[in-house]
Amino acid sequence: MSKDFLVGRPGPIHSSENHFVNGSRITPPFPENTDKAIFGMGCFWGAERLFWGLNGIYSTAVGYSGGLTVNPTYEEVCTGITGHAEVVLVVYQAENISYNKLLSLFWESHNPTEGMRQGPDIGTQYRSVIYTFTQEQLRLAMLSKHQYQASLSKAGYGDITTEIVTASEFYYAEEYHQQYLGKNPNGYCSLGGTGVICSPFATSV
């Protein structure tokens, strides 16, 4: 299967070091009191804006992850043969916002039952994903999936198709994608949830 993927390039795609909206760093090193999370929920423009204004969020950045192509471009990801999903990297302060809170926002803000699409955006790059950095994140993500599935089923929705795995390499997207809706407030955003509430679950971390 891997032979069918694009090879990519040795160097990373250029992106600024600082967040357009809040000025914080979007590239390492990050402050010691921060943790990282990665979510994919369709077009990454709206997904990033969803998180950056929350209390406890240090910074956000958009990029590509979950595939095999090294340092892919947006155009390559759109072909569907890099294996990557459009994702948002969330750098957060756990003492101010829990991973569970981020999970609840993730589940409620898109339709995780749509497979390789999200609303009008169709393709493998728009699939629903949670990429985890610790075993505790993985445990909580899986627990939240099972509990949210019960709520979705009661509301008449099908099975959750969200991919939940350990995070692989995160490749930063091009500069014009970073904080896109901060730079273009009236830009395209298809983000929308099912209306099903994600009830509190497990112990916050």
Give 62-106 pLDDT, tens digit per residue.
999 999 999 999 999 999 999 999 999 999 999 999 999 999 999
Q: Which residue has the tokens 């112990």?
A: 203
pLDDT surpasses 80 at 205: no
**Angstrom distance (rounded) from CA 22 to CA 13:** 22
pTM of the model: 0.95
**Angstrom distance (rounded) from CA 98 to CA 52:** 15
Give 23-62 pLDDT, tens digit per residue.
999 999 999 999 999 999 999 999 999 999 999 999 999 9
Which one is catalytic: 43, 78, 189, 198?
Answer: 43
Domains with residue ranges and CATH for the chain: 2-183 (3.30.1060.10)
* Host H or E run for residue 174: none
Q: For 4, phi and psi rounded to 5 degrees?
A: -90, -5
Q: Which residue has the tokens 């099908």?
A: 158
pLDDT surpasses 80 at 204: no
* 78 tagged catalytic: no
Question: Beta partners for 187?
Answer: none
pLDDT surpasses 70 at 3: no
User: At a CB cut-off of 8 Å and minimum separation 6, what does 138 contact?
Assistant: 132, 164, 166
Give 99-153 pLDDT, tens digit per residue.
999 999 999 999 999 999 999 999 999 999 999 999 999 999 999 999 999 999 9
**Angstrom distance (rounded) from CA 57 to CA 35:** 10
Q: Which residue has the higher pLDDT, 136 or 5?
A: 136
Cα 154 to chain centroid, rounded: 26
Peptide bond into 29 cis (omega under 30): yes
